[in-house]
């Protein structure tokens, strides 16, 4: 007996509905204990479902795991990646999914190792993207820029990657270098809320306040998101001046806690399940490393 992707994901969705009171779609940072318990229960429920029926192809199983990650079920996806690789072996696609899930669940060392294994494979861009996100999460934005540029060379039209690169440039103090990738990101994916927010941040940092306000108004950003963007711009603007690149270059050593290069960076921007996962109305699956959380 086989089970369709639709039926498999429906089982997880029903479980999420029953757990709505503890925030099934929320980020694990808000309710860590509840979220992790929920992820374990989701994994167990999905595993039980799989125990009574089998998925008939690797491609179908990969789509199931992709959907689970899109829904923010990172812990559950790790359990299914184990099952997938046990049955069909390790592939670049399963390795990329594992690396993303390990990063999203805080297993940074293991995630870094997994991303490095993608170098030299068809998903090399995803490997560099993920390594760049990990560098950004450590606050090492110069290294993040270097790695994200390597990813961009291999995948120049990935809007989420370009948005991450622009943001890393801002945090590294390379403000002038942020403009091009941020504009590219927004024009490639105008529905991507993280790209919208990062471009608004650039406009605030470069004192283009009227344009920033207009952009945030057009995209109906919440008051919390607007406040977070302006506070981030203030942090970048208060950084001590360093050597200049074009007109504006500032030091990244501002002493402030670095904003993480990932989904859900801004309040209310939960693109896929929410990385920056940009928020509703955006389709995170376009990013090779889902990145941006």
pLDDT means over runs of 10, the chain (293 residues): 47 42 36 56 55 70 94 96 95 96 97 97 97 96 98 97 97 96 97 95 96 95 95 84 36 34 48 33 40 46
Q: Which of 242, 259, 228 is nearest to 173 (CA)?
A: 242
Positive/negative CA dihedral, 176, 137, 129, 269: negative
Length of the chain: 293
Report d(CA 150, CA 162) in Å as an integer. Answer: 11
Report d(CA 137, CA 149) in Å as an integer. Answer: 17
Question: Helix and strand tally (H, E) in the chain?
Answer: 13, 0
pTM (predicted TM-score): 0.68
The predicted pLDDT at position 47 comes to 52
CB 195 within 8 A of CB 221: no
């Amino acid at each position: 007996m086989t089970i369709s992707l639709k039926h498999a994901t429906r089982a997880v969705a029903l479980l999420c509905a029953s757990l709505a009171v503890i925030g099934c779609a929320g980020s694990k940072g808000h309710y860590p204990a509840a979220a992790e318990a929920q992820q374990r229960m989701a994994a167990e429920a999905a595993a039980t479902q799989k125990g009574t029926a089998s998925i008939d192809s690797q491609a179908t199983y990969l789509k199931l795991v992709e959907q689970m990650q899109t829904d923010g079920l990172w812990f559950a996806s790790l359990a299914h990646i184990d099952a997938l690789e046990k049955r069909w072996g390790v592939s670049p696609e399963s390795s990329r999914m594992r690396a993303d899930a390990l990063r999203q669940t805080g297993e940074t060392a293991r995630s870094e190792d997994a991303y490095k294994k993608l170098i030299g494979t068809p998903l090399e861009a995803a490997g560099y993207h993920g390594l760049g996100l990990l560098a950004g999460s450590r606050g090492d934005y110069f290294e993040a820029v270097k790695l994200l540029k390597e990813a961009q060379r291999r995948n120049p039209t990935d809007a989420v990657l370009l948005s991450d690169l622009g943001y890393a440039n801002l945090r590294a103090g390379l403000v002038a270098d942020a403009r091009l990738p941020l504009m590219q990101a927004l024009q490639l994916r105008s529905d991507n809320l993280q790209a919208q927010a990062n471009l608004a941040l650039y406009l605030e940092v470069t004192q283009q306040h009227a344009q920033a306000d207009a952009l945030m108004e057009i995209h109906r950003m919440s008051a919390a998101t607007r406040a977070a963007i302006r506070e981030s711009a203030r942090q970048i603007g208060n950084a001590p001046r360093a050597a200049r690149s074009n007109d504006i270059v500032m030091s990244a050593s501002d002493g402030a806690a670095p904003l993480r290069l990932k989904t859900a960076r801004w309040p209310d921007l939960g693109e896929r399940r929410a990385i920056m996962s940009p928020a509703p109305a955006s389709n995170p699956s376009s990013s090779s490393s889902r990145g941006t959380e």
